[in-house]
Chain A
Amino acid sequence: MKREAPALDTVQQWFQAVVTHPEGVAAGSAADEAQRLIRLDRGELETIVRRSRNLTAEERLSIYANAYWARLLECLGDCFPVLKQALGEDVFDSFGFEYLQRYPSRSYTLDRLGESFPRFLDETRPPDADWPDFLVDLARLEWTLAKVFDGPGVEGQALVRPDDLAGIAPERFAAARLVPVVCLRLLVSRYPVNAYYTAARHAEEGAEEGKDVPIPEPGEELVAILRRDFVVRRYTLSRPQYALLTALLDGAPVGEALAAAAAASDLDDDGLAVALQAWFRFWTAEGFFHRLDD
């Protein structure tokens, strides 16, 4: 049947509906969304798309349909390699397949493809189960690592060094604001996903290649993440360290941040004072702070 050529906007909306349909081209072209745009009876695909000598219109459209899912699942897997390893490819792809239907890409860049994946895992978790926390937290960790890797950084800029804090009077230090580097992120996890991440990478790269890393037992883990010399670094934190850095990230004066650390600490004053000195020495050596604002 000869039909009038549909307008460009109609063709494109129809094409997209057909090749991104989760059940493939035949189901996509029969679905309401495509039918509202171009009404086709069974076997009429070739009134819109030509067949070739070797392939039917449906087979040709399926090249795009296959590529759509394969490409985006591959990219999503690249965003969350350790989560994919933990779940296994089939399970990861089944989560990814659902995710891409609920959160299709709306950006010019694939770098944002996984942005809502942790949230999706949280939204679709089975009720009354704790283990999804592991998946959500691991996804959140991997997404944060990726963002820190290619986000704003402080390479080439002067940072606060250990000696910079040595001679400052206590009152002045307490009133000052110690500004963290722009790439510092803090994460609280319900499972030790950072430790798991390290073990999984060792298993992948080292002598234990191919060996499965067991899913850990639940347990709070606090982590600081930053980038130095273009490489992402991870630091496990204690509760008082986390409280202190959180307060500094929130823009609190150092005195308030120290009070937050003290409130979270079991150490006596002397013990805490010694610990604080060691923490600041370590953090400044590692490039945690951009500047000290009086």
Chain B
Amino acid sequence: MDARGARLGHQNLGLGVGLRSVHFDHILRTTPDVDWFEIISENYVDSGGRPRYVLQQLAERYAIVMHGVSLSIGANDPLDHEYLKKLKTLAREVNARWISDHLCWTGVLGRNTHDLLPVPFTEQTLRHVVERIRIVQDVLERPFVLENPSSYVTFTGSTMEEHEFISRMAEEADCGLLLDVNNVYVSSFNHDLDPEVFIRALPHERIVQFHLAGHSNYVTHLIDTHDGHVIDPVWDLYRLAHQLTGGVSTLLEWDAKIPPFPVLHDEVLKAKRFMGDNLPAEPQGEADLVAAASSPMSPISPISPISPTPHPLHHIRPEIE
């Protein structure tokens, strides 16, 4: 156990949900009994309008965590210091408890694909990522946490498993981990691995936060679409992760086909059932069944217009009279 104790000493914020603009009015009107909110940093760092105003209002009442999708910690391109500066400013403004992003890269040669692209798990990548995490931590001066992304390929050049890479990365860079339980499930399915092995292998005292989400099952592979309920096997993994860590801040993400806020909130409250020995009361896994029934069985065609869009896609629609 790290000398700082579980969660690197960070508070367990309880059960939170991702803040999405479609819920702004509901949240402001009803001030729901949610423990905390996670924001997508990129939706707010440049905002001079309502999104930032709403966030400021919420930050007075709720704990806020900033979750980014553009840091590109694994890229060979230089870090974007303008972006980091904006993160730091916003974090100060909303008293963000910590700032997170993903173990991935989003583009090189100045481009941004706006996707969470996989890194090869090599010694070279590890040195590169650790060095950049240290720089980011120095700049942000706020707890920094990295998430395991969903992935759809692995590289032949990798010399270690993802869990080994993440464990060494967290120890060497002295950073926290955001364990996305759904991503473990999705990636393990896609790479023919055992998700429990992944979760058991991590340094549990470094896990500061969990993510939960729904995904889509295309039979041959899973895609991290964040568009539905959390399925039973993911809840089972959550139960295991909860046991191994002693419980950490838990957040539900829902980014497409976003339901009314109470549905979202109810979904994350289900986590309480898995914090003890209770089993889920009702059958679940509908998202898998529905997606499987309608999923294409043929190989994926290039640039299919019906192809699913994995997380992240974040755009706030303007309000125009």
Contacts and interface: CB of A to CB of B under 8 A. Distances in A.
Contacts of A63: 152-153, 221, 223, 300, 307, 310
Main secondary structure of the interface of B (DSSP, over half): loop
> 4 shortest A-B CB distances, which residue pairs?
A24-B302, A5-B157, A149-B318, A66-B307
Contact of A48 (B105, B109, B115, B155): B155
A234 to B, nearest CB: 7
A230 B50 contact: yes
Interface stretch (A7-15, A124-132, A259-267, A277-285): A7-15
B262 interface: no
Given A52-B221, A67-B309, A57 B153 contact: yes
A150 B153 contact: no
Contact of A93 (B128, B299, B305): B305
Interface string B283-321: 000000000000000011111110111100111111111
A122 interface: no
Contacts, number: 203
Contacts of A8: 76, 119-120, 122, 124-125, 128
A12 B105 contact: yes
A286 to B, nearest CB: 11
B155 A7 contact: no
Nearest to A46: B156
22 contacts: A5-B157, A13-B108, A19-B113, A22-B303, A24-B301, A46-B156, A50-B153, A50-B156, A52-B190, A59-B299, A62-B301, A64-B153, A66-B304, A66-B307, A70-B304, A81-B317, A106-B110, A108-B112, A109-B70, A145-B318, A150-B316, A153-B49
A91 interface: no
Main secondary structure of the interface of A (DSSP, over half): helix
A155 B111 contact: no
B114 A232 contact: no
Interface of A: 5-9, 11-13, 15-16, 19-20, 22-27, 46-50, 52-57, 59-72, 74-75, 78-79, 81, 93, 104-111, 145-146, 148-153, 155, 201, 227, 230-234
A231 B321 contact: yes
B112 A105 contact: yes
A72 B313 CA distance: 8
Contacts of B70: 108-109
B258 to A, nearest CB: 14
A67 B307 contact: yes
Contacts of A67: 115, 307-310
Contact of B315 (A9, A23, A79): A79
Interface of B: 42, 45-51, 53, 70, 75-76, 80, 83, 105, 107-115, 117, 119-120, 122, 124-125, 128, 152-157, 159, 190-192, 219-221, 223, 299-305, 307-310, 313-321
Contacts of B303: 22-24, 65-66, 69
Given A8-B128, A9-B108, A63-B223, A149 B49 contact: yes
Nearest to A73: B305
Given A8-B124, A93-B305, A105-B111, 20 more contacts: A15-B117, A16-B117, A26-B302, A48-B156, A50-B191, A52-B191, A52-B192, A61-B153, A62-B302, A63-B307, A64-B153, A66-B308, A71-B310, A71-B313, A105-B113, A110-B42, A151-B48, A231-B320, A232-B318, A232-B320
